[in-house]
Amino acid sequence: MDPIPISDQQTEAVRFLARDFQECFKQMRYYDGQIIGICKFACILFTAVIGGALVLQAHGLAANADYSWASVAILFPALLFGILFLALVVRDRIYFVLLSRYINHHRRFFLEEKPLGFSNETRMYYLEMDQPPYFSWASSQALLLYVLAVVNAGVLTLALFQILVPAGYYGGYILGVSVCFLAGELVWSVGYLLARQRKTRGA
């Protein structure tokens, strides 16, 4: 069978799509790496901040002085950064999904005709333009989101203990506030991603 002739314009279009695929794939890996990088940085920051707060508290006990407000002054700014990190992870997940779906569109366009007999029977490549979902509870990125939310709640718990226990509040009350905060983080994060998912379906 003679090869089908293609015009110069079609040749350039193929080159453009190839370049676009490569760049989008690089960008997709970038967002995946950025999510991991944010969580690594957050863990390092929180380890240093919590360690510093505990050292201040121990030094205060040894010197018979109250350094709890100094500890709180360290913990609350870290908590604000933690909330920002959580928002960045959610936003990067959206960008990651958008690029992944666009790459699936590329694959589907070129593979639906089974070039050279390739049929993708092993399902190595996703071809669906609605995959991956914006929120998948068992995905590695979702697990990192959970970890970040739990660490934020832990920082809040430590800060509240230093403020409220001397004021006569019980630990159960403080834990209840922290659990509500954790639930709020997860409801906002997951709800935002699910709302984006429903929007793509036209719901």
Global pTM?
A: 0.88
Position 201 scores a pLDDT of: 66
Position 203 scores a pLDDT of: 42
- Stated length of the chain: 203
**Rounded Cα–Cα distance for residues 157 and 175 (Å):** 7
Position 57 scores a pLDDT of: 82
Position 122 scores a pLDDT of: 62
Q: Splitting the chain (203 residues) into consecutive groups of 10 residues, what average pLDDT does each group show?
A: 67 87 94 96 94 86 81 94 97 96 88 73 71 93 96 94 80 91 98 92 53
**Rounded Cα–Cα distance for residues 74 and 94 (Å):** 31
**Rounded Cα–Cα distance for residues 199 and 187 (Å):** 18
**Nearest 10 degrees: Cα torsion 156, 160, 162, 168:** -160
Position 78 scores a pLDDT of: 96
User: Which residue blocks in 63-133 are alpha helix, DSSP H?
Assistant: 68-111
- Give the tokens for residue 6: 């293609």
3 state SS of 122: coil
3 state SS of 52: helix
Q: What are phi and psi of 86, to 5 degrees?
A: -65, -45
CA terminus-to-terminus distance, the chain: 47
